[in-house]
A = this chain, B = another copy of it.
Amino acid sequence: MLAEIIAVGSEMLTPHRQDTNSLYLTAGLNDLGVIVAFKTIVGDNRDHLRSAIHIAIHRADIVLLSGGLGPTEDDLTRECLAETLSRSLHRNEAVYESLQKRFVARNMDMPPNNAKQADQIEGAEILPNANGSAPGQWLDFAHHGTRKLIAILPGPPKELKPLFDTECKPRLAAALPPNHMARRQLRMALIPESQVDARTAPIYQQFRDVETTILAGHAEIQLHFICVKPTLAEAEARVEAVSDAVANEMGDDIFSLNGESLEEVVLLMLGVRRQTLAVAESCTGGWLGQRLTSIPNSSRVFLGGAIAYSDRSKTALADVPSYLIEEHGAVSEAVARSLAEGVRRRTGSSLALSITGIAGPATPRGTDANKPLGLVYIALTDGEDTQVKEIHIPGDRERVRLWATQHALEMLRRHLQ
């Protein structure tokens, strides 16, 4: 069974936006043993969209369309699919009512143009969308004697992903021969891709029935293992074997054997040890706090901290003595140490992390000219002992700031281990 994914939207034909839904859909199709043979990106243009749909139905067995289900004039997917298949569109009253209820619940009147989101293609099933106004639709029919499965899905990833998982995957699975896929995801922070590849390729290359992908980005390396077998037990045994062998080689460079993020791992370790954490951030300006609090229930171990961006806020919020800043500069080992110790005392946490550095693009006025862009100090204290690390991070402002938060989390993880 071959699949084609069509992403609909003129914004994806600009230099600024890319289709990313197809990556998620591809993973889901692969889980079911389906190969994606074509991806097409087409704009909000009636002729172009109809032609793309026509071609896809001829060359693929499964066609997934994303986007173009909104309320605007530009949203044409429903109409164009109906026209291409010579089917009618009719208003589904139940969908129409639930659309109206969404607006009432938000104390808004439904604009008249939203009504077309309730239009159903003749012979299609409605796929309810729990996270947005536009439902998906599903078609299963014979075309010149071949079975065709077509889904139209809303473009926003938060709507498309759950809708695909809950509504499309079961329908696809029922239509396809049984296949089982197992996956593992190993994650490592702050290590070069070439080093990971040199050490692990001789291992994973021995597992010819396991598909291995190395992904690098966001200050970490991920190793993905995928295996498809007639039974889940066979597939699981193979990915288990390869990930055990790789874990044995990479040791505690690996922070996660099951895909958890570094912030999740650190919060879990703190929870198990019944310890709490506070942070004091200068150049990262709240990013470390933002990462930690992105995880539900982080309030059990994360207490908060100081965004100690200006010199005065370092003193006012983390009790850094101003003479320390005058003597050593805001980006210094002494200030990093004082930030961590000060915020720990203030918040009453068991542990505290601090970050101070020069993120660029320019060196701030008043900074020692010998201190280069990318210089960052990270401190970790438990109230008795304080460690400080000096690191040099190449790259632009965003990279320096992201890597600084990653170094801080990794320093804490290794301390807890």
Contact = CB atoms under 8 A, between A and B. Distances in A.
Interface of A: 10-18, 20, 23-24, 26-27, 30, 35-43, 45, 48, 51-52, 55, 59, 70-74, 106, 108, 111, 113-114, 156, 158, 192-195, 197-198, 201, 205, 211, 213-215, 217, 224, 278-279, 281-290, 292-294, 296-299, 302-310, 312-314, 316-317, 346-348, 360-362, 364, 394-399, 401
A360 B296 CA distance: 7
A201 to B, nearest CB: 6
B302 A309 contact: yes
Contacts of A211: 10
Nearest to A71: B194
A208 B59 CA distance: 35
Nearest to A345: B316
18 contacts: A10-B213, A15-B23, A15-B24, A16-B224, A38-B40, A71-B197, A72-B214, A73-B201, A286-B286, A286-B289, A286-B305, A289-B289, A296-B397, A304-B308, A304-B313, A304-B317, A306-B306, A317-B317
Contacts of A37: 13, 42-43, 45, 48
Nearest to A102: B394
B309 A303 contact: yes
A293 B402 CA distance: 12
A113 B198 CA distance: 8
Contact of A197 (B43, B72, B215, B401): B72
A59 to B, nearest CB: 6
Contact of A305 (B74, B313, B401): B313
Contacts of A17: 215
Contacts of A395: 158
Q: State how many copies of this chain the complex holds.
A: 2
A342 to B, nearest CB: 11
Given A38-B41, A51-B59, A347 B312 contact: yes
Contacts of A16: 23, 213, 215, 224
A106 B393 CA distance: 10
Contacts of A111: 194-195, 198
A143 B113 CA distance: 42
Contacts of A35: 13
Contact of A290 (B27, B114, B284): B284
B299 A309 contact: yes
A205 B72 CA distance: 12
A287 B304 CA distance: 12
Contacts of A113: 194, 197-198
A346 B309 CA distance: 13
Given A15-B23, A72-B194, A347-B317, A38 B42 contact: yes
Contacts of A193: 70-72
A27 B15 CA distance: 5
A33 B106 CA distance: 43
Contacts of A108: 192
Nearest to A303: B310
A48 B41 contact: no
A309 B197 CA distance: 40
A15 B36 CA distance: 10
A38 B224 CA distance: 29
B289 A285 contact: yes
A27 to B, nearest CB: 4
